[in-house]
């Protein structure tokens, strides 16, 4: 099992190329299942979750070619098995995104209940309710979601869908399913994350009729069939935010090429308040940081608020900042699992339910720590960059699920970091 060895204490300087967003690439790979014509996706990140998704759709009979330049060509014309088996989806929650496209195009789907990070429940009941509102018959049996259209019904039917909670993957599933449904679908309480409008723009290129994407109310007029397209995956805002926090913690001057400042308003506002200089460029973001930052309290919430996927990374910055900060996690109930590992490195953190209180220390000290989930892994890497001595981060397969060669990118801007086989 691979580990990362980090020798802390170096400032970061140079340029990092930000990869395509994992949370856009995965639904867009599933959107290619909606048509029998070839689809080309560019800027697809090299991640374990992408490899798993490609394995999953190939298992259905889909042809998928991966280029060295981040291009993936998908031909779902030969798709002959609308099923996502447990063996292929047990490590990845995004597998549920195959449900909507398969049901919409083939009138049936059999998708295993998903696996993934152990950061709390992300119920699929919202997906099931929404697709039932569109006329699907759905049962959950032996760990599988089994969906089909009633006898004599050729297509899903448009509906007004209001979810009990804001759900990103639910919104994506409904968007894809409604594109091929009969009539109009209106999504109320829709997620507004930048990956949603990116998926909608891809679907529009395929012939879908969608309005309001990027707002909480999306209107979709279903069409008979969709066609192939070329689409570039939007830059990963969480990778961008992770590098912003790394530079703020370690110090330095770095340009994040292709990073989108307009996708990270809440995080950038906190970084500026902490003392970092963050500048939006025509094709990226520049971040400069010198000396200790000031601790910043924040509360995670749905986009455009402070993202839960940035909580662990910013908490690490608070660990070495001046002052005391309070972090409130409102999205997932198990998302403080990195705290015990940060404490091993010398951080001072107290947890009370959904609230963590962090008292900044001048320095952390290197130790062996264990990654428990994807974003926790990133927080421990940042901690290693600022800790005295050597830090070893174990179980980095979590990191590889969501970051495209993170250690190589960090080494390229001056970090002393290496992967140990």
191-222 residue pLDDT tens: 999 999 999 999 999 999 999 999 999 999 99
Q: Are residues 372 and 233 in contact, defined by beta-carbon separation less than 8 angstroms?
A: no
Confidence of residue 375 (pLDDT cuts 50, 70, 90): very high
Say what the pLDDT of residue 332 is. Answer: 79
Return the structure tokens found at 383: 């901690």
What values do phi and psi take at 321, rounded to 5? Answer: -90, 170
Is residue 117 part of the annotated active site? The answer reads: yes
Q: Are residues 194 and 166 in contact, defined by beta-carbon separation less than 8 angstroms?
A: no
Return the structure tokens found at 123: 């119920």
Q: What would the mean pLDDT of 287-305 be, rounded to a whole number?
A: 97
Q: Are residues 264 and 238 in contact, defined by beta-carbon separation less than 8 angstroms?
A: no
Which residue out of 30, 117, 229, 319 is catalytically annotated?
A: 117
How far, in whole angstroms, is CA 216 from its chain's centroid?
A: 19
Q: What is the pLDDT of residues 248-275, one digit of tens each?
A: 999 999 999 999 999 999 999 999 999 9
* 232 pLDDT more than 70: yes
Place of tokens 């989108």: 260
Global confidence as pTM: 0.93
Q: What is the pLDDT of residues 85-135, one digit of tens each?
A: 998 888 787 889 999 999 999 999 999 987 554 444 557 889 999 999 999
Say what the pLDDT of residue 119 is. Answer: 41
Confidence of residue 178 (pLDDT cuts 50, 70, 90): very high
Secondary structure in 3-state letters for the chain: CCEEEEECCCCEEEEEECCECHHHHHHHHHHHHHCCCCEEEECCCCCHHHHHHHHHHHHCCCEEEECCCCCEEEECCCCCCCEECHHHHCCCHHHHHHHHHHHHHHCEEEEECCCCCCCCCCCCHHHHHHHHHCCCEEEEECCEEEEECCCCCCCCECCEEECCCCCHHHHHHHHHHHHCCECEEEEECCCCCCHHHHHHHHHHHCCCEEECECECEEEEECCCCCCCCEEECCECHHHHHHHHHHHHHHCEEEEEECCCHHHCHHHHHHHHHHCCEEEEECCEEEEEECCCCECCCEEECCCCCECHHHHHHHHHHHHCCECEEEEECCCCCCCCCCHHHHHHCCCEEEEECCEEEEECCCCCECCEEECCCHHHHHHHHHHHHHCECEEEEECCHHHHHHCCCHHHHHHCCCCEEEEEC
Q: What is the pLDDT of residues 142-157, one digit of tens each?
A: 889 999 999 999 999 9
Say what the pLDDT of residue 94 is. Answer: 83
State how far the Cα of 382 lies from the Cα of 100, in Å rounded to an integer.
37
Q: What would the mean pLDDT of 160-169 be, rounded to a whole number?
A: 94
Q: What is the pLDDT of residues 301-321, one digit of tens each?
A: 999 999 999 999 999 999 999
CB burial of 284-296 (b: ≥16 within 10 Å; e: otherwise) equals bbbbbbeebbebb
Say what the pLDDT of residue 348 is. Answer: 98
Say what the pLDDT of residue 118 is. Answer: 46
* 338 pLDDT more than 80: yes
* 161 pLDDT more than 50: yes
């Amino acid at each position: 099992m691979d580990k990362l060895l980090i020798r802390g204490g170096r400032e970061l300087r140079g340029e990092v190329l930000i990869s395509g967003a994992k949370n856009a690439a995965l639904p867009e790979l599933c959107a290619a299942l909606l048509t029998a014509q070839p689809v080309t996706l560019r800027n697809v990140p090299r991640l374990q979750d992408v490899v798993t998704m490609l394995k999953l759709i190939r298992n259905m009979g889909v042809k998928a070619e991966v280029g060295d330049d981040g291009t993936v060509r998908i031909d779902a014309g030969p798709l002959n098995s609308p099923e996502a088996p447990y063996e292929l989806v047990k490590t990845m929650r995004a597998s549920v995104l195959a449900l909507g496209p398969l049901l919409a195009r083939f009138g049936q789907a059999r998708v295993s209940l998903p696996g993934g990070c152990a950061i709390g429940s992300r119920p699929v009941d919202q997906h099931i309710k929404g697709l039932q509102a569109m006329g699907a018959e759905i049962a959950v049996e032996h760990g599988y979601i089994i969906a089909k259209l009633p006898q004599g019904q050729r297509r899903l039917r448009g509906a007004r869908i209001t979810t009990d909670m804001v759900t990103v993957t639910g919104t994506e599933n409904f968007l894809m399913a409604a594109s091929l449904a009969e009539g109009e679908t209106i999504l109320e309480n829709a997620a507004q994350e930048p990956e949603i409008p990116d998926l909608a723009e891809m679907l529009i290129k395929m012939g879908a009729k969608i309005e309001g994407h990027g707002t909480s109310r999306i209107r979709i007029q279903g069409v008979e069939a969709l066609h192939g397209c070329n689409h570039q995956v939007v830059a990963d805002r969480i990778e961008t935010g992770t590098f912003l926090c790394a530079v703020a913690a370690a110090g330095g001057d770095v340009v994040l090429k292709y990073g989108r400042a307009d996708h990270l308003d809440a995080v950038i506002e906190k970084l500026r308040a902490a003392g970092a200089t963050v500048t939006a460029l025509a094709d990226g973001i520049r971040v400069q940081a010198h000396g200790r930052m000031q601790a910043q309290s924040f509360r995670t919430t749905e986009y455009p608020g402070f993202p839960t996927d940035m909580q662990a990374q910013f908490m690490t910055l608070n660990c070495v900042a001046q002052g005391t900060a309070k972090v409130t996690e409102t999205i997932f109930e198990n998302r403080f699992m990195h705290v015990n590992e940060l404490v091993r490195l010398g951080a001072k953190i107290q947890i009370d339910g959904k609230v963590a209180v962090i008292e900044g220390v001048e320095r952390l000290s290197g130790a062996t720590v264990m990654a428990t989930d994807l974003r926790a892994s990133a927080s421990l890497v940042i901690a290693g960059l600022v800790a005295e001595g050597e830090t070893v981060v174990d179980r980095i397969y979590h990191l590889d699920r969501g970051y495209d060669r993170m250690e190589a990118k960090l080494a390229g801007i001056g970090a002393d970091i290496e992967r140990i086989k």
